[in-house]
Structure 1
């Protein structure tokens, strides 16, 4: 397949490409044997843009088998449609081709968005995805708030009150909690719980992690010290 003049060949070293493929999919690497539709590739692009960016290898199966690409023009058209027309805001993508074992592999470089969160336009309900290992998962309300705070560089100022005291006591005893669990023990709404947890992650007091596609919150480890709480006045 002669693609010269239409798309640049990658300047990445072939050995580096092989290492990335051998390592398999992760939170910044996605394999696609082909691009089935703009809708499906838009989810991958949205998730990568909301995380830290990455590369989609088109012409590589889920198991890392090199199959190559047949119709570059159709692949590019659908990928651009997914990135520019179905993601809101649009996501920047860059294309390269590299030949591996006599097969052309399309590299789609997805930039981390500077305007997070990125949503999918075609959804009836606004939905954003993030990468968790090799999977795309729906971003929680807490994650959406946190991304918005980071994008706007929002300054967080608040006093630790009764609900935070209950949260910290629970974390000292149990180590972790979900947003639903926090709302329950503090007797507050899901919205207030979500806003509070996002703010505490933003300040570095808490960290967030995934387990079985659900987010949990725990103290951020810093010299083995727990955060000092301040009572409401």
Structure 2
């Protein structure tokens, strides 16, 4: 996969944002993707797609983790992953952001107001309107617990069997009554 990515010309799209370095408004970029359809942010790539890399990928990753922990309201950690990719021989940090289920996500310091809630529109982020914020809240509250997507996707019988064993419980898959 890395070789394939290295041969592509990176361009900004609805789902891809390119940044030379960590911008001061990175939290709002992450929020915009989480409140819309998800996407990726490449740190170490110019707007024109030129790969410049980052000099200290561990520091960049730590700073992004801190933004996730301290600047964004509603926990997004299960919907965001941070990876160091080698593209054209350079370290590029790729932030993968899935669409969150507990929308709207917002800047903690700004609160649940248009100045703190962002969405992705084309290749840019925009402040959400009051109406859109209300709609996201309504959609989030309307969804049943069972209908929400889990950021943890390891729900196989082997995984469940292991978890039961950790709790010293017997796992009987035949006792489960699945409807066809």
Fold shared, TM-score > 0.5 on shorter chain = yes
Q: Which runs of 5+ in 2 are unaligned?
A: 144-180
Partner in structure 2 of residue 19 of structure 1: 8
Q: In the alignment, is the contact (CA less than 8 A) between 1:56 and 1:109 conserved in 2?
A: yes
Q: CA deviation at 1:18?
A: 4.2
Q: CA deviation at 1:146?
A: 1.6
Partner in structure 2 of residue 190 of structure 1: none
Partner in structure 1 of residue 16 of structure 2: 29
Larger RCO (CA within 8 A; separation ≥ 6): 2
Query: Secondary structure at the residue paired with 1:66?
Result: coil
Q: In the alignment, is the contact (CA less than 8 A) between 1:33 and 1:58 conserved in 2?
A: yes
CA-atom RMSD in angstroms = 2.1
Task: Describe the shift of the 1:113–1:20 C-alpha distance in structure 2 as closer, same or farther (beyond 3 A).
Answer: farther
Cα deviation 1:129-165 (Å, max 9, x = unaligned): 00011111000112112211221226xxxxxxxxxxx
**Distance in 1 of aligned mates of 2:8 and 2:101:** 29
Q: CA deviation at 1:97?
A: 2.0
Residues 1:96 and 2:87 aligned together: no
Number of residue pairs aligned between Structure 1 and Structure 2: 140
Which stretches of structure 1, 4 residues or longer, exceed 3 Å deviation after superposition? 16-20
Q: CA deviation at 1:120?
A: 0.5
Task: Describe the shift of the 1:17–1:115 C-alpha distance in structure 2 as closer, same or farther (beyond 3 A).
Answer: farther
Q: Normalising by the residue count of structure 2, what TM-score does the alignment of the two structures yield?
A: 0.70
**Distance in 1 of aligned mates of 2:70 and 2:35:** 17
Q: In the alignment, is the contact (CA less than 8 A) between 1:86 and 1:121 conserved in 2?
A: yes
